[in-house]
Copies of this chain bind each other. A is one copy, B any other.
């Protein structure tokens, strides 16, 4: 079907016949550097030199000025396809994210696109339908004309596929060990430590963890950091109940956790994500538990959701936009042949209403 419509398109693709009269290019056709040259009374090469800022010491100041004026009058904008063909570069980067339905990735995109625009790059977004395998997608599509790839929070296998493609790659929020690629990470471990310390400081000793049932570095780190942060503190992890990344599944997992009685019953729930935390809050309410009086809940991300809830979520804020921006900057460095150190961006714990002291000894 794709092929069908494509061929239909192409039949109509007769290159525009130039209808230039003695007065110059017809109104219809977009002006080219030749038109500018004609207009300025110089060669087309000179136009290219001037507009590409390579003219210093090669073209007279006056001529350069004439060219610029002509280009402006004609509304000239260079044909990017031609430039790409000549240069072998497209000034386009692909941003691969697991799903687009989270604010987090929307913000990553925003940051990356901002930096890209400053450097005359474009960003194409590819929400990988399956977290595991981006295989069928980007490199078979029309947009495969790419200078590099930025991949955020992908599963290891997916990253392997990406890496195998040979394109310059920057990984975001991914395992930096043994990576062949530049990495921009969040200090996820520190975020988890802060959350745990916050709960311990409030007096909690029996915690449960609702990890995201997603195979990626970013969630693996959370689990590891949680275990580490707890050792030797008197606090204990009484339960771990993974959930898919949705409110509904968070609710289900939390319900199971909270059905325990006695010492197995946690006083605080640490959730890998705000969506899960929202589900946990719902679960608590349905079981007649008040947040935070009877149960404390923490999340990760600080999505809009976090402050929409009542009480508002105590959560670890991840600077998603900064991650995207740093990622694009790293890719630019790689493309320029500069080496880049792994960057780790700090995160912040935002204490809000969903955490408080544990209930008195029961």
Complexed CA–CA distance, A100 and B123 (Å)? 14
Size range of the chain A interface in the assembly = 35 or more
Contact (Cβ within 8 A) B88 A16: yes
Residues on A lying within 8 angstroms of B by beta carbon are: 1-3, 5-10, 12-13, 15-16, 52-54, 77, 79-82, 84-92, 100-101, 103, 106-107, 109-110, 113, 117-127, 137, 139, 141-145, 246-248, 275, 278-279, 281-282, 285, 304-305, 307-310, 332, 335-337
Contact (Cβ within 8 A) B310 A285: yes
Instruction: Chain B residues near A307: list those with CB within 8 A.
Output: 247-248
How far, in Å, is A147 (CB) from chain B's closest CB? 10
Q: Select A110's contact among B6, B100, B335, beta carbons within 8 Å.
A: B100
Instruction: Chain B residues near A117: list those with CB within 8 A.
Output: 137, 141
How far, in Å, is A229 (CB) from chain B's closest CB? 27
From A82, which residue of chain B is reached at the shortest CB distance?
B85
Contact (Cβ within 8 A) A9 B89: yes
Complexed CA–CA distance, A123 and B180 (Å)? 29
Q: A85-B85, A101-B107, A304-B305 are in contact. List 19 more A-B contacts (CB 8 A).
A: A2-B118, A2-B119, A9-B89, A9-B336, A12-B336, A13-B87, A79-B145, A80-B90, A80-B144, A81-B145, A82-B85, A103-B103, A121-B142, A122-B141, A123-B125, A125-B125, A275-B304, A278-B308, A308-B309
Complexed CA–CA distance, A143 and B94 (Å)? 13
From A143, which residue of chain B is reached at the shortest CB distance?
B122
Q: Select A305's contact among B15, B100, B123, B308, beta carbons within 8 Å.
A: B308
From A337, which residue of chain B is reached at the shortest CB distance?
B12
Check A120/B304 contact, CB under 8 A, given A89-B13, A109-B100, A145-B81: no
Q: Select A100's contact among B8, B106, B279, beta carbons within 8 Å.
A: B106
